[in-house]
Structure formats: C-alpha cells, structure tokens
Amino acid sequence: MANVTININGADYSGDVEPRLLLTHFIRDTAELTGTHTGCDTTSCGACTVLIDGVPIKSCTMFAVQANGKKIQTVEGLANGAALHPIQEAFREKHGLQCGFCTPGMMLTSVAFLKKNPNPTEEEIRWAISGNLCRCTGYVNIVEAIQYAGEKMRESA
Amino acid sequence: MIPAQFQYAAPASIADALALLQSNPDAKILSGGQSLIPLMKFRLAQPAMVVDINNIADLDYIREADGWLKIGALTRESALEDSTLVREKYPLLYETTLNVADPIVRNRATLAGNLAHADPANDHPATMLAYRAQVVATGAGGNRTIAIDDFFTGLFSTALASDEILTEVQIPAPKTNSGGAYMKLERKVGDFATAGVAVQLNLDAAGSIEQIGIAFTNVGLQAIRGARSEAALRGTSGNAVAVEAAAKFAQEDCEPNADLRGSVEYKRNLVRVLTTRAISSALAKARGA
C-alpha cells in the first residue's frame, strides 16, 4: 500500500492505495467525485479525461500513485459556486450533449484546448476533441458549444 | 479492469532506477504508460515491479547538438507536436507524431516508450528506420548507442537488456534539400495503422536522390525497412518510373497478416499506394515545393 495525497479541485484527498489502483477509481471511489466517468476503460473514449496540472489525460490510464502530490481538476471543479463555467454554459446553451456520459471529459479537454487556442477553427476543434468519443450527438452541437465557450472566454479575458 | 498486483517505485535518479532494474529482472519501466497500463489491465503484462521514471529530472528535452536531434526519454508526443523545430525541420517526425493515438493520449505518451515497446503497430519505429536514427541505452556500465536497424529484434522485442533504460533518441539532422513524409491509413482516430509508410530523403546538387530511407508500419512482426524500394530510388531523379518500381518492391517486401483491417492482398496494395504518396510528398518538400 502507498499513502497518496492528491489535490482535486483545490481540496486534498488522501488514502492508502494499492499501486494498481487507477486514478479514475481514486477520483470516483476514494474522493467520491463521480462526475468523472469511466467509459471504455481501454484508453479510447476519453470519458475519464481530467486535467492534471492543467493538461488533459485519460485517468483510466494512469495509476493513482503517479498523481501523488499533483493538482487535478475534474468536472466538479469547473463551476464557481452557482456560476457555471463558460464551457458548461455553452454546452447547455448549444445543447452540446444528449446522454451526457462523454460530457465531463469533453468539457475538460475543451477548457485546456481553449486556453492554448482561444479562437479555434471548426477543424481545429474537431482535431482537439478527436480523443473524446460521443455516441449521441454527431459532434455538431459540441463543436458549436466549444466555439460559443471560446467567444465567452475571450470576452471575459 | 484491474491490473495484477505489483510493487511500485518512482526513483528520482537514473542510477536508482538502474539499481531497481538490476535487483528486479521482471520489472517494467513506466514512462507515458499509454501502452504498458492497458497491457497490464488486460493482464497481458504482469510485471512484479513497475519502475516509474517520471520523477527523474532532465529526461524531457528536444534539442539539436552534434548533428543530431536529441529527444529525451520523457519527452511527450504532445511536446513534439508543439515544437516549432520539429514541425519546420523534421516533417516526417511531425507527421508521425500527429498520427499517434489521439491528442489526450499524446499528452502522456513518449517517443522513447513508443520505440521501447516495439509494437509492430506503433508508428515511430518505421519513422526511425527511415531517418536512420539511433537510440542511447543507459545501463550500469554507462551509455551505449544502438543503431535503429539493430534495435528491433522481433515482435515486442528490442536489443535493450532488462537492466537498461532507453534514455535518448537521436535523429540525424537533415541535410539541405531534404524532405520526409508519413502516410498512414487508420479506420478512425486512435486506431492502429492498417498500414503506414515512412519516407525520408535528400537531393544532391543535381537534384538526384542521394540518401533515402523507406520503412513500413504494421505489415510484419516488426517495422520493416524497404531496402529494395530505397535502392530503386537512390541516384534517380525520383521520376515516375523509379517511384513506381519502388512502390512495387514495397508491395512485395511487406509481410502483412489478414485481420479485421483487411486481407493480405488489400494491405500489400495499400502499402504500394502509401509508398507512392509518401515519396511524392517527401520529394515535394525536398524540392521546396
């Protein structure tokens, strides 16, 4: 067992974990933050995407021990109190989801992407989210939501 | 899916990592983990110990020195993708990186890991063959350099000893009038190649092909050098007849298996087509077009 402390959305979560515990399970079961979804469990779908020190990674493909001492942001860390993050507002406004399973990962990927590229083309957006699969929407509204969030974030920057 | 149990160590120095590898012959090195962790979850790999090298400083760099592009063991694919130097001067490497898995995986995955894992479906092995790259293996006795043609020894097998770490990849700095291209067909983003072809070449003052490297991805037990395709083009102007001959040799010299991605005949023809396109693209870049 290894004792790990991981900062998630500004709060420290500690636990004695087996090295084989995946980060996605630490987030969901130890920290009880179930907004992060474990989808394919094979590094394909991106539903489990979280930001580690600001960089999107698939939390099903990293051990919790590797995140010891690191800062993680999950979907629960996007809103500021009752105020939605622009990406959340955009997904609601543009109907960027149907079942919602891919949405947390999709939004975290988008937030990191919009920081690097605040005014992306449609092609750049589609490229950026190519590691996050959605089986409902056909992506059209997701792309529009990310464009909308980009506008909002540029206005407030 | 839960991997089998293992001991975990995250040493802060190469010396400590080497000591762990020496006392644990069954250990595996964890860098990006984007191949190793899935293998462990499927229990295709069950190492007794995982030596995580992510805490070792000074292994994350991209720099040119002594006529080589040097890339550290912890340099992520995304760093290659974002590098102006790589994009402008090493188009073959840049195009290959863009074809590895997906953008999220590339934030963790490393070039060195892609080579050390030696999956015939990985994209960088063929590219390194085309570049005539070399790798640095660090062991208890110090560093040794391994030419890429001697590195891959079979399916998931390399010349690395169990107590060595691949610490650096070295790619020859391209000569003037150089060009390269990577062509891959995949069914969807993140899929392994149905087939891939890497080409790197340079032209002499008269415009003839001086040096050329051609290699194939996922059409054999390891990445395959297209030696006859290279010979068919070397010294020529890269005219249509020479390109067609090189592509025909590629079709014959690859060794694909039939699977869900296609039949043997289909894959051989695909290698022919991709070889033609990769040569054209590399030539266009070398001519400054």
- Confidence band (pLDDT; 50, 70, 90) for A157? confident
Domain B62-172 fold is: 3.30.465
- CA dist B92 and B159 (Å) reads 24
* CATH number for A120: 1.10.150.120
* Last residue within a domain, chosen from A58, A77, A96: A77
Q: Do residue B52 and residue A109 have CB atoms under 8 angstroms apart?
A: no
Q: Within this chain, do residues A113 and A146 fall inside the same structural domain, yes or no?
A: yes
Q: Within this chain, do residues A150 and A111 fall inside the same structural domain, yes or no?
A: yes
Q: Which of B41, B101, B107 sits opposite A57 (nearest CB)?
A: B107
What residues of B are in contact with residue A58 (Cβ under 8 Å)? Answer: 104-105, 108
Question: Cα dist. A17→A22, A63, B168, B264 in Å?
Answer: 10, 10, 33, 47
- Confidence band (pLDDT; 50, 70, 90) for B72? very high
Q: Do residue B104 and residue A66 have CB atoms under 8 angstroms apart?
A: no
A131 close to B (CB below 8 A): yes
Q: Which residue(s) pair with B169 in the sheet?
A: B71, B135
Q: Which pLDDT tens digit goes with each residue over B14-63?
A: 999 999 999 999 999 999 999 999 999 999 999 999 999 999 999 999 99
Question: Cα dist. B170→A124, B56, B73, B146 in Å?
Answer: 31, 20, 11, 10
- CA dist A108 and A103 (Å) reads 9
Angstroms from A137 CA to nearest CA on chain B: 17
* CATH number for A7: 3.10.20.30
Q: Do residue A57 and residue B108 have CB atoms under 8 angstroms apart?
A: yes
Q: Tell me the mean pLDDT in the region B127-152.
A: 98
Q: Which of A2, A43, A132 sits opposite B38 (nearest CB)?
A: A43
* pTM (2 d.p.): 0.97
Q: Tell me the mean pLDDT in the region B265-276.
A: 98
Size of interface A-B (CB pairs under 8 A): 77
* Last residue within a domain, chosen from A77, A103, A124: A77
Q: Which pLDDT tens digit goes with each residue over B203-244?
A: 999 999 999 999 999 999 999 999 999 999 999 999 999 999
Q: Within this chain, do residues A34 and A69 fall inside the same structural domain, yes or no?
A: yes
- Supply the range of the domain harboring residue A16: 2-77
Q: What is the tally of structural domains in chain A?
A: 2
Residues 32-91 of A with CB under 8 A from B: 41-44, 46, 49, 55-58, 61-63, 65-66
- CA dist B209 and A61 (Å) reads 44
Angstroms from A49 CA to nearest CA on chain B: 8
* Last residue within a domain, chosen from A22, A47, A77: A77
Domain B178-286 class in CATH = alpha beta
Q: Tell me the mean pLDDT in the region B101-130.
A: 98
**Best residue in B40, B104, B188 to probe A by mutation, most A CBs within 10 Å?**
B104
Q: Which residues contact A11 (CB under 8 A, 6 or more apart)?
A: none
Q: Do residue B189 and residue A46 have CB atoms under 8 angstroms apart?
A: no
Q: Tell me the mean pLDDT in the region A84-112.
A: 98
Buried-state track B112-142, b at ≥16 Cβ within 10 A, e below 16: bbbbbbbbbbbbbbbbbbbbbbbbbbbbeee
For B40-69, give the DSSP string.
Answer: HHTTS---SEEEE-TT-TT---EEEETTEE
**Best residue in B102, B187, B192 to probe A by mutation, most A CBs within 10 Å?**
B102
ipTM higher than the 0.85 cut: yes
Domain B7-52 class in CATH = alpha beta
Domain chopping of chain B, boundaries: 7-52, 62-172, 178-286
**Pair B18, B139: CB distance under 8 Å:** yes
Q: Within this chain, do residues A119 and A53 fall inside the same structural domain, yes or no?
A: no
Q: Do residue B33 and residue A42 have CB atoms under 8 angstroms apart?
A: no
